[in-house]
Chains A and B, each alone.
Chain A
Amino acid sequence: MSLRYGLRTFLLELVMVAAAVAFLFPVYALVTLSLKDKQQLAASPLSPPTSPTLGNYSDAWSRASLGSALLNSTVITVASLVVLIAIGSFAAYFLARCATRLGFGLYVLFLLGIVLPFQLGMIPLFKMVDSAGLLGTYQGMIVFYTGIQLPFTVFLYTGFIRALPADYANAALIDGAGHLQAFTRVVFPLLRPITGTVLILNAVFIWNDFFTPLLYLGGSARETVPVRIFAFVGQYVSDYGLVFAGLVLAALPIIVVFLVLQRYVIKGFASGLKG
């Protein structure tokens, strides 16, 4: 904890940078292999590419139909987030401000959902979605994500609202506003910090989720990015250049968004789970 940059700090810096280099080896392999054609791959897989080619990238983009998969992922993620935040924040506002046993009971019921593994209801829910004709649709996934992520969303919002003075909303109500108006115009804007956290944590979860979209969307035209990549890798498993170009393209959107918003994302991950 010394304040100047001494020898000790310098040595630590070396150790940490060496650790980062070792840590990044898989990423180096990923990018290097994706830039090589078959001959170069066969000759020396891990050496830096002598004549890098983007051929794998255009092949992977079209063969995995990544364009449509990205569109599906975007629609499902954005729509789920909108519904989650809308109904989650309303519910949390009621739970945080209602001092009755009903309010407390409902809150505990929502907390239960954080602990329950979704596998417990997996088969009954699959049957329900199937008989409702929602397999292979956006709607099925949006309802699923809303339900499965509500406990966590309600938990975060309720904790935040409890710490917020009720005075602002009360002033609006006394001035004659309705509850709907008081919440949307006065309270909801005050929730911005926690809405950011809710948005980030849920977006990362929904965008990357694999198991349920595999069950509900596998083989349909609505496959999300992880499901499409899963099928793509299965088909071209031995062609590492092509597979890795597909992985880079599929991972790039979320990595770019993360790098742009990294301060908020890291803060969201670090704080969000304390409630």
Chain B
Amino acid sequence: MDGARASGGRAGGGRVRSRRRRGGFLTPPWWFAAPAVLVYALVVLYPSASGVMYAFTDWNGIGDRSFNGLDNFQRLWQDDAARGSLTNTLLLTVAIVVVQNGIGLLLALGVHTHIKSRAVLRVVFFTPAVVSPVMVAFLWKYVYNPAPDAGLNGILGAVGLGSLRQDWLGDPSLALWSVAGMVVWQFAGYSMVIFLAGLEGVPAELHEAAMIDGAGRWQRFRSVTWPLLAPSVTINVMLSTIGGLKLFDQVYAATSGGPGHASETLSTVLYKQAFVYGNYGYSTAIALVLALFVAAVSLVQVYYLRSREVGS
């Protein structure tokens, strides 16, 4: 510890004046950040930069790799299965963002009242969010079991709605939405918790003032609660959008992208291209497209949704 002080003092010797202006010996030494920067560069920055480079090559893991310009991206656009996965990723993301946050908001409004079960309900709805998504997917594989007396179909039969029974994961037109359903089940409570934190920040006086002015429930929600919830909306929409775009575990465990390519997403396609077919260059090109999507969405949301927030 004395060594740290001594070296700090020595380093500052020649530049005492400029250092003092910036806080001088009170500023922590640069080596505080060195281990983190090193590990971060090794695990994230260097591999990601290599990834960007490989996206423009025909690398397949064996032999030489040569640059092939935009071939990989052209291939992504022309390959029906891959283009389908792009559409699927976007549809899945929109469905998750809308439904998960819609339900999350309703749950939060319901729990943020004087009902006696509010503490228990908060825990019940949130618990699935701490369980591994792969395990939740396996549980839901049973819920979506096509047998008429099992899972969701069994319930539908028991309550007299037998005609609504489906092959939830086996029907190509349904599989993607079934995956969205299990994701919503797992994370609606997460959205709820973030909305609840926002609701707790809405001052009760504003509600009282609005009530005195004769505002009804809906009006109070519309013009008091909703504008003040804007920061929670921003966080929830961002988290679920990024989570939806990157979604892999649930799709892989529940359908592996099937039936056919019906529930394939960018994540499952780039996984298969890399570890099943060995098309490393093509796989990283898909990863780059995914990265650009995530970055674009994050930027747009930060600017657009922030502008809606009430300045404090």
Do these two chains interact? yes
Which residues on the B side are within 8 Å of A190 (C-beta)?
none
* Selected contact of A16 from candidates B30, B111, B274, B288, CB within 8 Å: B111
Report, as a range, how many residues of chain B touch the other chain.
Answer: 35 or more
Q: Is the CB of A262 within 8 A of B39?
A: no
Which residues on the B side are within 8 Å of A225 (C-beta)?
132
Question: Chain B at the A interface: mostly helix, strand, loop or mixed?
Answer: helix
- A-binding segment of B77-85, B94-102, B190-198: B190-198
* Selected contact of A266 from candidates B5, B43, B193, B298, CB within 8 Å: B193
Q: Is the CB of B5 within 8 A of A265?
A: no
A side interface size, CB within 8 A: 99
Q: Is the CB of A166 within 8 A of B36?
A: no
Q: Which residue of A lies closest to B281 (CB)?
A: A123
- What is the distance, in angstroms, from B266's C-beta to the closest C-beta of chain A? 8
A4 vs B107: C-alpha distance in the bound complex, in angstroms?
21
Q: Using an 8 Å CB-CB cutoff, how does the interface string of B263-305 with A read, 1 for contact, 0 for none?
A: 0000100110011000010011001101100110010000000
Which residues on the B side are within 8 Å of A240 (C-beta)?
142
Which residues on the B side are within 8 Å of A30 (C-beta)?
139, 142
- What is the distance, in angstroms, from B198's C-beta to the closest C-beta of chain A? 9
Q: Is the CB of B48 within 8 A of A226?
A: no
Q: Which residues between 211 and 245 of chain A lie within 8 Å of chain B, taking CB atoms? A: 211, 215, 225-226, 229-230, 233, 240, 243-244
Count how many pairs of residues, one from A and one from B, have CB atoms less than 8 Å apart in the complex.
Answer: 279
Q: Is the CB of B124 within 8 A of A210?
A: no
A251 vs B143: C-alpha distance in the bound complex, in angstroms?
17
Q: A12-B113, A46-B150, A274-B235 are in contact. Are A147 and B132 (CB under 8 A)?
A: no
B253 is an interface residue with CB less than 8 A from chain A: yes
- What is the distance, in angstroms, from A159's C-beta to the closest C-beta of chain B? 14
Q: Is the CB of B138 within 8 A of A247?
A: yes
A58 is an interface residue with CB less than 8 A from chain B: no
A90 vs B3: C-alpha distance in the bound complex, in angstroms?
17
* Selected contact of B130 from candidates A148, A250, A265, CB within 8 Å: A265
A120 is an interface residue with CB less than 8 A from chain B: yes
Q: Which residues between 106 and 137 of chain B lie within 8 Å of chain A, taking CB atoms? A: 107, 110-111, 113-117, 121-127, 129-135
Q: Using an 8 Å CB-CB cutoff, how does the interface string of A66-110 with B read, 1 for contact, 0 for none?
A: 000000000000000000000110110111011110100010011
A160 is an interface residue with CB less than 8 A from chain B: no
Q: Which residue of B lies closest to A268 (CB)?
A: B193
Q: Which residues between 251 and 268 of chain A lie within 8 Å of chain B, taking CB atoms? A: 251, 254-255, 258-259, 262, 265-266
Q: Is the CB of A226 within 8 A of B134?
A: yes
A165 is an interface residue with CB less than 8 A from chain B: no
* Selected contact of A208 from candidates B121, B133, B267, CB within 8 Å: B133
Q: A151-B44, A178-B4 are in contact. Are A115 and B295 (CB under 8 A)?
A: yes
Q: A29-B142, A119-B287 are in contact. Are A3 and B114 (CB under 8 A)?
A: yes
Q: Which residue of B lies closest to A107 (CB)?
A: B33
Which residues on the A side are within 8 Å of B47 (C-beta)?
120-122, 124-125, 128
7 tightest CB-CB pairs across the interface, nearest first?
A: A147-B43, A121-B47, A91-B36, A178-B5, A208-B132, A124-B50, A270-B197
15 A-B pairs within 8 Å (CB atoms) are namely: A23-B185, A30-B139, A91-B32, A91-B37, A94-B32, A94-B33, A120-B52, A122-B274, A170-B26, A183-B32, A229-B135, A244-B139, A255-B131, A259-B127, A270-B196
Chain B residues at the A interface, C-beta cutoff of 8 Å: 1-5, 8, 22-23, 25-30, 32-33, 35-37, 39-40, 42-52, 54, 107, 110-111, 113-117, 121-127, 129-135, 138-140, 142-143, 149-151, 154-155, 158, 185, 190, 193-194, 196-197, 204, 207, 211, 220, 231, 235, 239, 245-246, 248-249, 252-253, 267, 270-271, 274-275, 280, 283-284, 287-288, 290-291, 294-295, 298
